[in-house]
Chains A and B, each alone.
Chain A
């Protein structure tokens, strides 16, 4: 399986993402610069965390205007898995691939620590390797992770089981309904503020993030590989 890690000017979690895929999962992965115009050879697209374009204007706003984004939209429409973490989540909401937006943290502080997440939906290509309602430890590192959407959007997120991760013991940023990660209606685009790629090896302090990447690979193998 071949992963693309999209690199914007100011991305800074691209290396962690690359190593999680290459060294922990043992899958193929390439960095893709933001002005690339063809993603057709990739099976999954990863948008890493960081501060694309210095967070100028709004987080993710300028990254959304990059050449590569029309290709990311195309990949999402084709049903390929698209995962946006932290700044990647912000870019996906700016692109309209996910509903809502990420606001400044309620306490106005940059939060950087490990938090507990609950896997509220494990019937999904990103979370099938977790147990339903499993509580996992994943680091967060963001200043604008306060998820917001209007009431109508929230009702449809709930009705379609699009809320995948919630903050379990405490809500670090004021996020609506403790939302930490959501998928699109089709279920192939996931955005989340916490960083599973930073919990992919024991030396990082935990491996709870690994099952997310394993779920993506498992789903892909089941649908694309002919067992001999």
Chain B
């Protein structure tokens, strides 16, 4: 069993109004050192071994459903789940 953590963010060329609003709030709290805030999504998948290359499977899922590559970028980490 593998645990896959997928991080989805808006592409850099796409404005993130939520991120801008949060940055404004942080500035009003005197955290003026904050120069950018991007809000994204985090997905955690448990994936069983099925004889298919996990990178291929994860990339396929990301590009077909989990993200819209017109507006979003993604990255992911794969962790081994050790049974107790």
Residues of chain A having any CB pair with chain B under 8 Å? 57-58, 61-62, 65, 93-94, 99-101, 103-108, 148-150, 174
Contacts and interface: CB of A to CB of B under 8 A. Distances in A.
Given A104-B17, A106-B17, A174-B17, 13 more contacts: A57-B66, A58-B68, A61-B65, A62-B65, A93-B70, A101-B68, A101-B70, A107-B17, A108-B17, A148-B14, A148-B70, A149-B70, A150-B13
Contacts of B13: 150
Nearest to B70: A101
A104 B21 CA distance: 13
B15 interface: yes
Contacts of B10: 103
A148 B18 CA distance: 16
A106 B15 contact: yes
B71 interface: yes
Nearest to B67: A58
A108 B18 contact: yes
Interface string B1-40: 0000000001001110110010000000000000000000
Contact of B70 (A100, A104, A105): A100
Contacts of A150: 13, 70
Nearest to A107: B17
Contacts of B71: 101, 103, 148
A101 B72 CA distance: 10
A61 B67 CA distance: 9
Contacts of A104: 17-18
13 contacts: A57-B65, A61-B65, A62-B65, A99-B70, A104-B17, A105-B17, A106-B15, A107-B17, A108-B21, A148-B70, A149-B70, A150-B13, A174-B17
Enumerate the 6 nearest inter-chain pairs by beta-carbon distance, A residue then B residue, closest first.
Answer: A101-B70, A101-B71, A108-B17, A106-B17, A101-B68, A58-B68
Contacts of A105: 17
A58 B18 CA distance: 15
Contacts of A93: 70
A103 B70 CA distance: 11
Nearest to B43: A57
